[in-house]
Amino acid sequence: MSLMEIRGYSVVRAPCAAFVLAAAIALLAGCSEAPKPEVVPSAKIDGESIVFLKDSPQLTSLVMDTAVEQPAGAIRLNGRLAWNEDHTVRVFTPFAGRVASIHAQPSDNVKQGQMLAVIASPDFGQAQAETRRAQGDFALARQNLARAKDLHEHGVVAAKDLNAAEAEFARTESEIKRTEARLKFYGGGSEIDQTYGLKSPLTGVVVEKNINPGQELRPDQMVANAPALFVITNPSSLWVLLDAVEKDLPNLKVGSNLKIKVPAYPNDEFQAKVAAISDFLDPVTRTIKVRAVIDNTARKLKGEMFINAEAKSSQASVIKVPARAVMFQGGRYYLFVEDGVGRFVRREVVTAETDDGYVSIASGVAAGQRVVAEGALLLQQILQPRRIVK
C-alpha cells in the first residue's frame, strides 16, 4: 500500500469520527436537559410542630389516646421505722474505771434512775474525797469566822483578821456547794467507796448493751465514736423515716397525716404525722428526707421495720396519659399533642406519679386533648436535629 492510499484512508475516515463525536455530545446534552423528578417532603417542621401531608404513610404508624381527668390518688412513699431520738438516750460513763457488775440486759424494761451497772472508779472516789474535804474546810472556816467575830467585838483582833475569816468562809462555802452539786448530779453519795452507779436517765427499754464484766472504761469513748454502753428508748413512740422525690413535695407538709402499712400486719393501718422535711436533696440519691412520728402505745411496731406510707394528694383531680406517650430527654419530660389534622405539637410536661401504666400530668396537657400514645419516638426523630432549649 502506497503513502497516498494511506493518506486517502485517513482523509475519508476523519469526517466519520467527527460525526460520531458530535452525535455523542448531542445525546449527552439531550440527557442533561431531561426534567428532574420533584422530591416532596413527607413532613414539615414548624417550630415545635410537625405537619404531615394528608396521605402521608407515617400517619398510619401513630396511635392516639385521650388525656383524661381522674380523681387524684394517694402519694406512695417507702421508708423504715426508727427509734424516736427525742425519747432515746445513749449512756456513757463520766468516770474511768472497771465494770464491777451489770444489772440490765437487752429487752429489759427499766425505770428512770434504775441501776444499769456498777463501776469501780478511783476517779469517782477522788470526787467523793473532794466533797469530804470541802465539808471539813467549810466547818473549820465557819468556826474561825465565829471566833474572829467574838474576838473583834472584844477588841482582841483587828478588822482585817475578821475580813480574812469572812473571805475564807465564803470560799469554803462556794467549794462545798460545787462539790456537793457535782456528786448529786452524778447520783453519788458522800461516802468514799469509789463505786459509781450507772443509772438509766429515762423510763424505757434497753435496746443495746455494749458492756461486759471487768471491762475497762474511759470517759473519752464517746468522743472516739465508740458504741454507747447502753441504749435505752421509749418504744411507745417511733420515727418514720421516708425518702421522697421532688414531685412529692407539694403533697407533703409539716403536720400532715400519713397512712402507714407494714408487711407484718397487712390488715392493719397506722397513723403518723409529718414532723420535719429536709431542706436539701441527697446529692447521690436525689431524694428528700422526710421524718414523721407514729404512736406505738400498743408496741406492735418495731424499730427498723420497712413500711409503706400514703399521703393525701393536694390536688382534687389529675390529668392522666399513657406512660408510653411520655419521653424523657435533656432532663425534661415531653409528649406530642394532636393540634389539627396531621399536625402534632411537642409539649413539655411536669409529671407526677406513675400508676398502672398511666402517668399523672401536673401541667402541660389539658383534659380531652389527644396525645400520641404510640409513635412518639418517630416524631422525636423527625425533630432530632433540633436541640431542646434548656
314 pLDDT higher than 80 = no
Give the SS3 label for residue 365. Answer: coil
42 pLDDT higher than 70 = no
Residues 262 and 328 in one domain: no
22 pLDDT higher than 80 = no
In-domain check, residue 390: no
- 158: domain CATH number is 1.10.287
Q: What is the pLDDT of residues 257-297, one digit of tens each?
A: 999 999 999 999 999 999 999 999 988 888 999 999 999 99
In-domain check, residue 42: no
Note whether 180 and 131 are within 8 A (CB): yes
Total count of domains within the chain:
4
Residues 144 and 188 in one domain: yes
Reported as a pLDDT band with limits 50, 70 and 90, residue 72 is: low
**Among candidate residues 177, 193, 209, the one where a domain is terminated:** 193
Residues 126 and 180 in one domain: yes
In-domain check, residue 184: yes
Residues 337 and 302 in one domain: no
In-domain check, residue 357: yes
371 pLDDT higher than 80 = yes
pLDDT of residue 254: 93
Among 81-85, 101-105, 192-196, where is mean pLDDT lowest?
192-196
222 pLDDT higher than 90 = no
**Among candidate residues 137, 169, 193, the one where a domain is terminated:** 193
Nearest to 117 by CA among 138, 135, 142, 91: 91
In-domain check, residue 331: yes
102-to-197, 218, 265 alpha-carbon distances in Å: 10, 17, 36
In-domain check, residue 172: yes
Reported as a pLDDT band with limits 50, 70 and 90, residue 385 is: low
Note whether 230 and 262 are within 8 A (CB): no
Nearest to 234 by CA among 365, 89, 369: 89
Identify any residues that bridge with 89 across adjacent strands, giving them in sequence order: 232
Reported as a pLDDT band with limits 50, 70 and 90, residue 8 is: very low
Domain that holds residue 296: 232-311
Q: Which has more confidence, 225 or 205?
A: 205
* Interaxial angle between packed helices 122-153 and 159-186, expressed in degrees from 0 to 180 and rounded to the nearest 10: 150
380 pLDDT higher than 50 = yes
- 374: domain CATH number is 2.40.420.20
Percent of the chain with pLDDT over 70: 85
Residues 248 and 291 in one domain: yes
Residues 236 and 306 in one domain: yes
In-domain check, residue 55: yes
pLDDT of residue 200: 93
128 pLDDT higher than 60 = yes
pLDDT of residue 316: 61
- Give Cβ neighbours of residue 248 (< 8 Å, ≥ 6 apart): 75, 77, 288, 311
Residues 277 and 342 in one domain: no
- 249: domain CATH number is 2.40.30.170
pLDDT of residue 73: 64
390 pLDDT higher than 70 = no
Q: Which has more confidence, 367 or 82?
A: 82
113 pLDDT higher than 60 = yes
User: What integer is the mean pLDDT of 163-183?
Assistant: 92
319 pLDDT higher than 70 = yes
User: What integer is the mean pLDDT of 10-32?
Assistant: 44
User: What integer is the mean pLDDT of 59-64?
Assistant: 86
- Give Cβ neighbours of residue 66 (< 8 Å, ≥ 6 apart): 368, 369, 370, 371
Q: What is the pLDDT of residues 348-363, one digit of tens each?
A: 988 877 777 888 887 8
In-domain check, residue 93: no
